[in-house]
């Protein structure tokens, strides 16, 4: 049996690139990719965040997720264009159609990246590295944008490989190349090690992926529970999830929010509303076969002052209670005691739920997953109000259903 060959294809600055190509095709003289520019909101608005940025914009230390108001202070000449999700879905679909010429086994990981199983395709398309270069050049010539392609024997290393150097590159990262290419990288570069986890690893004297790979996995498990073992596996290139062809939808985030009929003045009531919102979000997350790596909470006061707070999770999840606990903690940190009229919960940084769960589930997580599945099945069969949490019984509040956030609604109606 031949060794698996997996490609990870990642569009360089996807939203920005797709906007630039579309505008050039329709008569624009300036390529957005060559000037300081971002996708993220109305040019006349002071609101919104950066969704994608050009390489020249990076010179101003503009980060994805920053507010447009803040980045304009550093770069007054910044060109801001609003997102057009219908265009991005079309571009993503065109990319998949091209890739399907090289393999029937393609797994969409997000709207701008996917995995392709190239195993046993050498007889048709030649050496994997040569084939990857041919694919990359075809995408550039026929579709107008550039991609990075990582090549390895599993999805983790292929994804890590595609990130080694950008843009418009092909990289291999096979197991024998890990010590040279991956281990010297900062531990924060390892997939799933985010802003919250990296400082904790630094406190343990772990600064590089090599340090993590050489750490006693039992020590990591003691410190981080099942996520510690998962990080150790990833640092050593261990990951074996299969390519699941064509079963993920192109969604960047899932959210739910509500305008409350009365002013909320206490933490307990706010937490109950967050629970109801989270149940809807987590159910949709599981139905879409995603896990989320980022949770955010938005608050609007009775005086229409809005603010939000977000945090990366230790590991992506689709568990209702894990997301709810994160939402409550974010709310407690952000709320300044004002009367609340509107609350929202949103999850993003989505990934396929098979890529992480095979390695991370301990007994507690497995029990939560079973419980969530049972609740989902009852509500699907008998209705959303057929089973509710006991905390709502005498609260005077009703569990919420539906009510996606405005930006999610605009996106999802163009996608689904």
Task: Write the CATH number for 34.
Answer: 3.30.70.270
410 — pLDDT class (breaks 50, 70, 90): very low
Alpha carbon distances (Å) from 212 to 10, 333, 356: 26, 31, 18
With respect to residue 346, please indicate whether it lies within any of the assigned structural domains. Answer: yes
Cis upstream peptide for 167 (omega within 30°): yes
With respect to residue 311, please indicate whether it lies within any of the assigned structural domains. Answer: yes
Q: How many CB atoms lie within 10 A of CB 182?
A: 24
pLDDT of 373 reads 76
pLDDT of 402 reads 38
Same domain, residue pair 260 and 369: yes
Distance of CA 139 to the CA centre of its chain: 23
pLDDT > 70? residue 363? no
Report whether 205 contacts 211 (CB < 8 A). Answer: yes
Report whether 153 contacts 3 (CB < 8 A). Answer: yes
Phi, psi of 45 (to 5 degrees): -95, 150
pLDDT > 60? residue 151? yes
Same domain, residue pair 318 and 394: yes
Same domain, residue pair 125 and 197: no
| Most confident listed range (169-183, 288-302, 368-382) | 169-183
pLDDT > 70? residue 228? yes
Same domain, residue pair 267 and 323: yes
Tell me how many domains the chain contains.
Answer: 3
With respect to residue 272, please indicate whether it lies within any of the assigned structural domains. Answer: yes
Mean pLDDT of the chain: 85
396 — pLDDT class (breaks 50, 70, 90): low
pLDDT of 296 reads 93
Question: In terms of pTM, does the model score above 0.75?
Answer: no
The C-alpha torsion from 65 through 69 and 70 to 74, rounded to 10°, is: 120
With respect to residue 247, please indicate whether it lies within any of the assigned structural domains. Answer: no
Region 325-336: mean pLDDT is 93
Which residue stretches of 147-289 are H helix?
Answer: 155-162, 197-203, 209-214, 217-224, 226-235, 267-287
pLDDT of 177 reads 98
Same domain, residue pair 57 and 82: yes
pLDDT of 63 reads 86
pLDDT of 405 reads 32
Region 190-219: mean pLDDT is 94
Residue 148 parent element (H or E): strand 147-152
Which residue out of 19, 113, 239, 279 is catalytically annotated? Answer: 113
With respect to residue 240, please indicate whether it lies within any of the assigned structural domains. Answer: no
Active site residue 113: yes
pLDDT of 386 reads 58
Same domain, residue pair 17 and 147: yes
pLDDT of 379 reads 64
pLDDT of 289 reads 79
The CATH number of residue 278's host domain is: 3.30.1490.100
Same domain, residue pair 10 and 94: yes
The CATH number of residue 220's host domain is: 1.10.150.20
pLDDT > 90? residue 29? yes
With respect to residue 246, please indicate whether it lies within any of the assigned structural domains. Answer: no
Region 284-311: mean pLDDT is 87
Region 291-317: mean pLDDT is 88
Alpha carbon distances (Å) from 193 to 27, 275, 349: 42, 27, 13
pLDDT of 406 reads 30
pLDDT of 370 reads 75
- Which percentage of the chain shows pLDDT scores above 90? 56
Bigger pLDDT: 366 or 96?
96
Same domain, residue pair 172 and 228: no
With respect to residue 173, please indicate whether it lies within any of the assigned structural domains. Answer: yes
With respect to residue 266, please indicate whether it lies within any of the assigned structural domains. Answer: yes
Same domain, residue pair 159 and 226: no
Same domain, residue pair 60 and 176: yes
359 — pLDDT class (breaks 50, 70, 90): very low
* Count of alpha carbons within 13 angstroms of residue 54, beta-carbon side: 21
Domain range for 120: 1-182
pLDDT of 129 reads 97
Same domain, residue pair 404 and 262: yes
pLDDT of 51 reads 84
Same domain, residue pair 117 and 190: no
């Amino acid at each position: 049996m031949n060794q698996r060959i997996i490609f990870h294809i990642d569009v360089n600055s996807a939203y920005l690139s797709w906007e630039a190509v579309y505008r050039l095709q329709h008569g624009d003289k300036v390529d957005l990719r060559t000037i300081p520019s971002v996708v993220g909101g109305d040019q006349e608005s002071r609101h919104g965040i950066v969704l994608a940025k050009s390489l020249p914009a990076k010179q101003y230390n503009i980060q994805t997720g920053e507010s447009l108001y803040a980045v304009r202070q550093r770069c007054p000449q910044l060109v801001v264009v609003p997102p057009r999700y219908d265009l991005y879905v079309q571009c993503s679909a065109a990319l998949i159609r091209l890739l399907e010429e090289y393999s029937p086994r393609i797994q969409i990981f997000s709207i701008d990246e996917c995995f392709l199983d190239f195993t046993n395709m050498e007889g048709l398309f030649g050496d994997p590295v040569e084939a990857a270069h041919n694919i990359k050049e075809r995408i550039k010539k026929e579709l107008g944008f550039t991609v990075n392609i990582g090549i390895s024997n599993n999805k983790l290393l292929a994804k890590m490989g595609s990130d080694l150097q950008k843009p418009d590159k092909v990289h291999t990262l096979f197991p024998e190349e890990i010590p040279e290419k991956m281990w010297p990288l900062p531990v924060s570069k390892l997939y799933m090690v985010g802003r919250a986890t990296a400082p904790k690893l630094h406190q343990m004297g772990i600064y590089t992926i090599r340090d993590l790979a050489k750490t006693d996995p039992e020590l990591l498990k003691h410190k981080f529970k099942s996520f510690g073992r998962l990080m150790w596996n990833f640092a050593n290139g261990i990951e074996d999830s299969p390519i699941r062809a064509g079963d993920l939808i192109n969604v960047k985030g899932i959210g739910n929010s509500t305008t409350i009929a009365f002013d909320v003045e206490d933490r307990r009531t706010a937490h109950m509303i967050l629970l109801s919102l989270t149940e809807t979000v987590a159910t949709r997350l599981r139905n879409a076969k995603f896990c989320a790596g980022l949770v955010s909470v938005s608050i609007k006061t009775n005086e229409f002052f809005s603010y939000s707070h977000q945090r990366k999770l230790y590991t992506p999840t689709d568990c209702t209670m894990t997301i709810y606990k994160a939402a409550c903690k974010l709310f407690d940190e952000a709320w300044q005691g004002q009367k609340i009229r509107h609350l929202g919960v949103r999850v993003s940084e989505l990934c396929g739920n098979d890529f992480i769960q095979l390695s991370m589930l301990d007994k507690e997580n497995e029990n939560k997953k079973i419980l969530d599945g049972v609740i989902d099945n009852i509500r699907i069969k008998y209705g959303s109000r057929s089973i509710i949490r006991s905390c709502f019984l005498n609260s005077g509040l009703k569990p919420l259903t539906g009510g996606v956030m405005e930006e999610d609604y605009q996106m999802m109606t163009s996608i689904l």
